[in-house]
């Protein structure tokens, strides 16, 4: 693999530079005086900002974008070998790195690289940890998988002490990382278009844990079934958190206010460190906060500073994000696209004031919908009314004979109340006719379902 010499900045080209992660990495290299060029299919606020910061941006991907003198090329999983820029780089024998390989090498340029992994909760926990480190004036460099208001985007270029990033398991991206501290939040069956089964996923998380050096630390949720199979024999320090007896960190006396925001006592090895109040909903965010505070405590950050950081955090974009109100109907948007996430979000929503809880769900990928159909149906019965949009194909083309209409039938068989409608226009018209004052409407999914709520609000 090509090794970047950060002491000698050179010319890097990004294929697909407009993506939220790629644009952030390009921004970090610009700050470190690299010459950055890149291409994307269309201009966006992210590409415009990169241009303002000194990057050369091409709209449209063509072989001529790969200039002579380019030292290395970075590409995402969405770029295939038939891409003209990919082919040009190969023909010119220019070294190539995946996005994950670049991120992994960037981590080695920091004293304390921190990687936050798990099937769910990565963005929320990374955001919480970021707020804690910002409150402590640690000047962290941050890469988060969503828009975080505190840093006005998805990236923050800070000092060279601390690097905080999400670590995604899909395509084993996180195995290219070199963390000093890692967090594993949970391990569930997901991304079954890549992984064979849950055991295969657990094996990858074990390999991720093995990336830690002997003087590193793994913070892991002790409620993960057989979590010791992930930790046994590791040379690094192990810190546990969760409900399991004997966990190093746990939450007690958990309560929720009328907005479903949690409060709890943080307990460290039997010692009550104090009461914590969150500004994000749901029991899942209580445990995300415990993980982030275990990290903060390990890093020498005081309890008062951690509480201040969390008090400043009201959620990342598309994580139980209130979009607005119309006609007395509250509209929320959430990124949940796995049954565990859906159940957590709907349980949180049920604690919010409402007459009828509506969920407009857009399944994400055919393989995930097929593999987890029964789990999706069960989770969605937690809503009073479910409206299903067509499956968002994302990277896939094969329908596998699966449809949202089948999911609606499954939900109804379980006693739920679900309806499939074939277009966003049809869904919006149906909601306008049937939602009433006092209802709570959640648009949910990892695709473009957010547009439905925004259209209803006239945004």
Residue 14, CA atoms < 13 Å, CB-side half-sphere? 34
- The DSSP letter of residue 224 is S
Residue 190 DSSP class? -
Are 280 and 320 spatial neighbours (Cβ–Cβ below 8 Å)?
yes
Query: Is 284 flagged in the annotation as binding?
Result: no
Residue 60 annotated as lining a ligand binding site? no
171 Rama class: left (phi>0) / alpha (psi -120 to 50) / beta: left
* Residue 241, both tokens: 């958190």
Does residue 123 have a known ligand-binding role? Answer: yes
Q: Facing residues of 112 across strands?
A: 162
Residue 373 Rama label (left phi>0; alpha psi -120 to 50; beta): alpha
Q: Is 385 annotated as a binding residue?
A: no
Q: Is 443 annotated as a binding residue?
A: no
Is 176 known to sit in a ligand binding site? no
Which one from 85, 166, 321, 341 is the annotated catalytic residue? 166
Q: Which of 402, 384, 378 is nearest to 392 (CA)?
A: 402
Is residue 451 among the annotated active site residues?
no
In 3-state terms the chain splits into helix, strand, coil percentages (rounded to 5) of: 35, 25, 40
φ, ψ of residue 353 in degrees (nearest 5): -60, 130
Among the options 47, 70, 122, 367, which is catalytic?
122
Give yes or no for a contact between 313 and 279, defined as CB atoms under 8 angstroms apart: yes
The residue ranges of DSSP E strands in 305-356, in sequence order, are 321-326, 329-334
Q: Consult the annotation and say whether 121 binds a ligand.
A: yes
166 catalytic? Reply is: yes
Token readout for 454 is 């925004």
> Phi-psi region for residue 258, left (φ > 0), alpha (ψ -120 to 50) or beta?
alpha
Question: Which residues form the catalytic set?
Answer: 122-123, 166
Annotated binding site for ATP: 118-124
């Amino acid at each position: 693999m090509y090794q970047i010499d950060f002491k000698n900045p050179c010319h890097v080209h990004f294929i697909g530079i407009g993506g939220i992660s790629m644009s952030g990495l390009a921004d970090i290299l610009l700050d470190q005086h690299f010459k950055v060029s890149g291409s994307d299919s269309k201009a966006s606020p992210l590409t415009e900002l990169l241009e303002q910061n000194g990057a050369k941006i091409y709209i449209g991907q063509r072989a001529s974008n790969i200039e002579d003198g380019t030292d290395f090329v970075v590409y995402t999983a969405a770029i295939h070998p038939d891409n003209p820029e990919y082919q040009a780089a190969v023909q010119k024998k220019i070294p190539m790195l995946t996005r994950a390989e670049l991120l992994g090498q960037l981590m080695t340029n920091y004293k304390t690289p921190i990687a936050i992994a798990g099937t769910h909760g990565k963005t929320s926990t990374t955001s919480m940890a970021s707020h804690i480190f910002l409150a402590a004036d640690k000047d962290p460099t941050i890469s988060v998988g969503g828009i975080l208001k505190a840093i006005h985007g998805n990236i923050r270029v800070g000092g060279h002490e601390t690097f905080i990033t999400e670590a995604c398991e899909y395509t084993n991206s996180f195995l290219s990382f070199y963390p000093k501290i890692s967090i594993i939040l949970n391990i569930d069956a997901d991304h079954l278009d890549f992984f064979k089964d849950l055991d295969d996923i657990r094996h990858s998380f074990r390999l991720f844990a093995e990336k830690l050096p002997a003087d590193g630390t793994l913070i892991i949720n002790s409620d993960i079934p057989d979590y010791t199979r992930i930790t046994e024999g590791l040379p690094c320090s192990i810190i546990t958190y969760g409900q399991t007896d004997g966990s190093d960190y746990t939450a007690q006396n958990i309560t929720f206010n009328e907005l479903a925001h949690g409060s709890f006592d943080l307990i460290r090895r039997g010692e009550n460190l104090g009461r914590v109040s969150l500004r994000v909903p749901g029991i899942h965010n209580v445990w995300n906060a415990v993980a982030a505070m275990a990290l903060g405590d390990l890093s020498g950050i005081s309890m008062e500073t951690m509480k201040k950081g969390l008090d400043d955090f009201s959620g990342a974009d598309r994580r139980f994000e209130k979009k607005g109100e119309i006609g007395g109907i509250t509209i929320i948007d959430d990124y949940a696209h796995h049954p565990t996430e859906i159940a957590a979000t709907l349980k949180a929503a049920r604690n919010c004031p409402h007459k009828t809880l509506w969920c407009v769900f857009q399944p994400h990928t055919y393989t995930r919908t097929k593999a987890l159909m029964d789990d999706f149906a069960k989770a969605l019965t937690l809503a009073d009314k479910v409206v299903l949009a067509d499956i968002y194909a994302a990277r896939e083309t094969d329908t596998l004979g699966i449809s949202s209409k089948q999911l609606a039938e499954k939900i109804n068989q379980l006693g739920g109340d679900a309806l499939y409608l074939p277009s966003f226009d049809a869904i919006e018209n149906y909601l306008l006719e049937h939602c009433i004052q006092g209802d709570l409407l959640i648009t949910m999914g990892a695709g473009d379902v957010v547009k439905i709520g925004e259209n209803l609000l006239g945004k």
